[in-house]
A and B are shown apart, each in its own frame.
Chain A
Amino acid sequence: GDSVTQMEGPVTLSEEAFLTINCTYTATGYPSLFWYVQYPGEGLQLLLKATKADDKGSNKGFEATYRKETTSFHLEKGSVQVSDSAVYFCALRDQGAQKLVFGQGTRLTINP
């Protein structure tokens, strides 16, 4: 079945550091890929998405590129801020389906 694997956390960085959170997936069809973020005490929020191979999703300085050849969708940000501290989830939605399949999440802490 479909699955998503994220890099193990937690991840701790200093402010203005470069961020990469790895995500790889297994899917039977041609999925759409997503990054969701969960701030403390809040619900999951869509951060960015990509719906086909080579698409790049971007939002709030975060980027991720849909790489079909490596089945990956790594999240990157050039300069993180303390306010980026949250749990980040990679997810996929298979073709023709509406349900999301999530990775296990990566807790990110940014220190000033």
Chain B
Amino acid sequence: EAGVAQSPRYKIIEKRQSVAFWCNPISGHATLYWYQQILGQGPKLLIQFQNNGVVDDSQLPKDRFSAERLKGVDSTLKIQPAKLEDSAVYLCASSLPDSYGYTFGSGTRLTVV
């Protein structure tokens, strides 16, 4: 089965610019997650979708971050405007509901200069 696809793999932007990341989950996986992994730290959940709906976005900095999942499949995560501290790897994962089986994508490495 195909894995979780993410693009781009790498992105370098200047602070105050905007950026968007794309994720295509495993077919049939209703639950989709975006995690932020800052260098030297473990991943931290930003937002969780169940189909089109948001289940948990309590740690999403909503003044600058937004995410959507259209038609319960692909998802985009946007940062506008970016700050230096947003430099991190952004991981997308998907799973079946109530499943232990998360599948992670390879991530997008964002560098804000």
Contact = CB atoms under 8 A, between A and B. Distances in A.
B24 interface: no
Contacts of A32: 100
Nearest to A34: B100
Summarize A's interface: helix, strand, loop or mixed. strand
Contacts of A101: 45
B107 interface: yes
A64 interface: no
Nearest to A89: B42
Given A105-B41, A105-B42, A98 B104 contact: no
A46 B3 CA distance: 14
A87 B108 CA distance: 17
Given A43-B106, A44-B91, A98-B48, A49 B42 contact: no
Given A93-B100, A98-B55, A105-B40, 15 more contacts: A43-B3, A43-B4, A43-B107, A44-B91, A44-B102, A44-B104, A51-B100, A89-B42, A89-B43, A91-B42, A100-B45, A100-B102, A101-B45, A103-B42, A104-B40
